[in-house]
Amino acid sequence: MTTFEILTDDETTRVTLKDGGRRAEIDDRELDVEWSRQANGRSLMRIGPRIYRIDDVEFDGNTVSFTLNGRPVSAQVKDEQDLLLERLGFKSDTTASAGEIKAPMPGKILEVIVKKGDEVDTGDPVAILEAMKMENELKSPLRGTVSDIHIQAGDSVEKNQPLMEIDPSG
């Protein structure tokens, strides 16, 4: 059993593969899955009763780009390790950047917990982001001092938008 979280545009989907990938639990719905690869490089995927055409697959770190039934798609994929690190308040090397905190997905800032000059420890909550009808606690990636805040409660933010900066201490 393997679990992934897939973020496309502003939609997060949780997928758990079972039975060697022949069954999938997608957002609490269990479905049969079949894959076939054609000679021209196209993949066909059947999930439940629907068939999808997948072409032009490219990988860049945790980002997967492809066309789905002719429509371009770019998705951030988090595996079980990424999800565990996130739950513990850490970011993987592919998403962490010194003391800069960026929006992990589009949403609305419900609360800014810290203010400029505050001391924070690794994992301390710094803001609450509402996305996909869920409240997401954003945490400090390191110990330091909040040096800049680019957002306030009520702001709408885009994925990867810089939210605040923390200068490392010690």
Per-residue pLDDT, 61: 67
Structure tokens at 141: 């990636």
Per-residue pLDDT, 93: 46
Helices (H), 10-154: 80-87
pTM over 0.75: no
CB atoms within 10 A of CB 132: 13
* Structural domains present in the chain: 2-80 (3.30.700.30), 98-168 (2.40.50.100)
Per-residue pLDDT, 98: 59
Per-residue pLDDT, 88: 66
The low-confidence residues of the chain, meaning pLDDT below 70, are 60-61, 85, 88-98, 170
Per-residue pLDDT, 165: 93
Per-residue pLDDT, 94: 42
| Cα 143 from Cα 68, distance rounded (Å) | 42
pLDDT tens sequence across 116-135: 999 998 888 999 999 877 88
